[in-house]
Amino acid sequence: MRYITFALAKGRLARQAMGLLKKVGITCPEMEDPNTRKLIFTNEELKLKFFLAKASDVPTYVEYGAADIGIVGRDTILEERRNLYEVLDLGIGKCRMCVAGPAEAAELLRHQQLIRVATKYPVIAKDYFYNRKHQTVEIIKLNGSVELAPIVGLSEVIVDIVETGTTLKENGLQVLEEICDLSAKVVVNQVSMKMENQRITQMIQDLRGALA
């Protein structure tokens, strides 16, 4: 029997996902050590491997088959546009992709003005403004702390993830438009789905059952 390999978006999502997987007997005791700096873990008995990757790289590992299964946020899946099967919504890591900014920016959005949009998600932002709203905007790619952009005058609005809304509120910004709901998904490599169909399908079925 060959190993089935999971790529997990490291951090809170990986910890929550492992909690869910444990419910259906997909475990990895080696991973439970809170002080470990290892990136790859094995359960020899179940012939499973797990590795922790940067969220935005999880779809890449899965598309190329370095991992059979990935667990990652829908934001990353939409942004990366990789060829993979999206098989299950885990219902964890729930948040929203939003256009946000100072209250005054609502007017600019309403009047279809040429505005600057700062974001970690240029693909999602472009799709929203160009294809859904038919509004021409300038997209400025940032890598984090995107809320800074409208405060320091880099952009009029941002496209970013809103979970509790605290970051926006504490920086004098607000949600202006909602783009979509987000949560963590299970994705599967297209070849693995054929070659290891029985094991992977069983895991997905078990997980679906545990979530229901």
**Which residues form the interface with ligand PRP (CB under 6 A)?**
120, 144-147, 160-167
We find the least distance from the C-beta atom of residue 24 to ligand PRP, in angstroms, to be 28
List 40's β-bridge partners, or say none.
51
**Shortest distance (Å) from residue 148 CB to ligand PRP:** 9
**Residue 82 in tokens:** 């990789």
Quick one: how far is CA 131 from the chain centroid?
21
**Cβ neighbours, 10 Å, residue 64:** 13
Query: What is the residue type of 162?
Result: V
Spatial distance between the Cα atoms of 1 and 6, rounded to a whole number of angstroms: 16
Q: Cβ 36 to ligand PRP, closest distance in Å?
A: 22
- Residue 28 or 148 having the CB closest to ligand PRP: 148
Residue reference for tokens 């995107």: 146
Decide whether 120 or 185 has the Cβ nearer to ligand PRP: 120
Residue 143 beta carbon to ligand PRP: minimum distance, rounded to whole angstroms: 7
Nearest residue to ligand PRP by CB is 144
With respect to ligand PRP, which residue has the nearer C-beta, 137 or 159?
159
- Name every residue whose Cβ is closer than 8 Å to that of residue 167 and which is 6 or more positions away in sequence: 147
Of 80 and 160, which CB lies nearer to ligand PRP in the complex structure?
Answer: 160
